[in-house]
Amino acid sequence: MIILILGLVVLGILAMILYNGLVGARNEVKNAWSAIDVQLKRRHDLIPNLIESVKGYAAHERKTFDEVVRARQQAAAFTGSVEERAKIENALTQSLRSLFALAEAYPDLKANQSFIALQEELAATENKIGFSRQYYNDAAMRYKNRVEMFPGNVIAGMFNFQAEAFFQLEETGERAVPQVKF
């Protein structure tokens, strides 16, 4: 009888440890997503200033500005899933690339100090977003492993823990190494 009671106590403690580990891993994923969200908000806040800097030099390039503004508004207002958010943020990244390509055509703009400062700040923010995405994906992987591997999957199934999606590149062209030519 004592062995049975001890066995149940050990199983209860093991279940509690596994449950707490799953909760901790899920909270780490939420924290990692929050770090991405902070950097995405920063990027969204920088974009209007960047557009205003470029507008003075390239006023006739209205289509590019409109695309960037539309992509920014969609990204800033979006509250859906990680996969859908990744698609919208990737569209914003593409529109920013178009804006920077446009800026390359204006030598005076490339020398403008406010444009250079905004471009550097946006580049730093993009790097922070990349690091935050990596941290999020690492946390999501650790959590996914806990949810799917035995014995955690038993507790995860009992308490409806679901693995989180990874934040992935949408376009395969983004995976390609850029070509630098002189």
For position 11, what pLDDT does the model report? 94
How far, in Å, CA of 143 to CA of 139, rounded?
6
Q: Where residue 179 falls among pLDDT bands split at 50, 70, 90?
A: very low
> Amino acid identity of 141?
M
- 159 closest CA partner among 32, 23, 29, 30: 23
* CA 48 centroid distance within chain: 20
User: pTM of the entire structure?
Assistant: 0.74
Instruction: Please tell me the distance from the alpha carbon of residue 117 to that of residue 48, in angstroms, as a whole number.
Output: 14
Model pLDDT, residue 180? 35
Q: Which residue has the higher pLDDT, 90 or 136?
A: 136
Q: What is the pLDDT of residue 178?
A: 44
The percent of residues above 90 in pLDDT, for the chain, comes to: 48
Of 64 and 71, the one with more pLDDT: 71
Query: In this predicted structure, what is the pLDDT of residue 90?
Result: 87
What integer is the mean pLDDT of 27-52? 91
Q: How far apart are CA 106 and CA 94, in angstroms?
A: 20
Cβ(169)–Cβ(90) under 8 Å? yes
Residue 170 has pLDDT above 70, yes or no: no
Lowest mean pLDDT among 17-26, 81-90, 154-163: 81-90
Domains of the chain: 12-167 (1.20.1440.20)
Torsion of CA 71, 68, 90, 125, to 10 degrees: -110
Distance set, CA 95 to CA 8, 35, 91, 159 (Å): 59, 23, 6, 42
Give yes or no for residue 83 having a pLDDT over 50: yes
As a whole number, the mean pLDDT across the chain is 86
Instruction: Give the confidence band of 171 by pLDDT, cuts at 50, 70, 90.
Output: low
* Mean pLDDT of the 51-68 span: 80
DSSP one-letter code for 180: -
Summarised one tens digit per residue, pLDDT across range 93-148 is 888 888 888 777 777 776 778 888 888 888 899 899 999 999 999 999 999 999 99
State the residue for tokens 């997503």: 33
